Amino acid sequence: MAERLREVRTEAGLTQAKFGDALSVSQDTVSLWEKGRSVPTTETLALICKTFNVSADYLLGLKDY
């Protein structure tokens, strides 16, 4: 999931800080997600999907699109 979160963020043209702002989390939290040391809550995962128009299946690695 870490790589896919990074991909979603970079495709949106956002820094970790701006991505975090959009999700009401800190830049440090985004960094931990992208390093695979933490994962978003279910609620935050849903917000990422809705805000950035991606599926949870994609973020979780269940689908390639």
- Average pLDDT estimate for 38-58: 96
* pLDDT, tens only, 9-36: 999 999 999 999 999 999 999 999 999 9
Give the pLDDT confidence score for residue 53 in this predicted structure.
96
Q: How confident is the model at residue 64 (pLDDT cuts 50, 70, 90)?
A: confident
Residue 27 Cα distances to 7, 13, 64, angstroms: 16, 15, 26
Give the pLDDT confidence score for residue 30 in this predicted structure.
98
From CA 4, how far away is CA 53, in angstroms rounded?
A: 13
From CA 13, how far away is CA 16, in angstroms rounded?
A: 10
Half-sphere exposure of 45 (CA within 13 A, CB side): 15
Which has the higher per-residue pLDDT, 63 or 25? 25
**DSSP 8-state assignment for residue 24:** T
Domains along the chain with CATH numbers: 2-59 (1.10.260.40)
From CA 37, how far away is CA 13, in angstroms rounded?
A: 23
Q: Taking the model in full, what pTM does it have?
A: 0.91
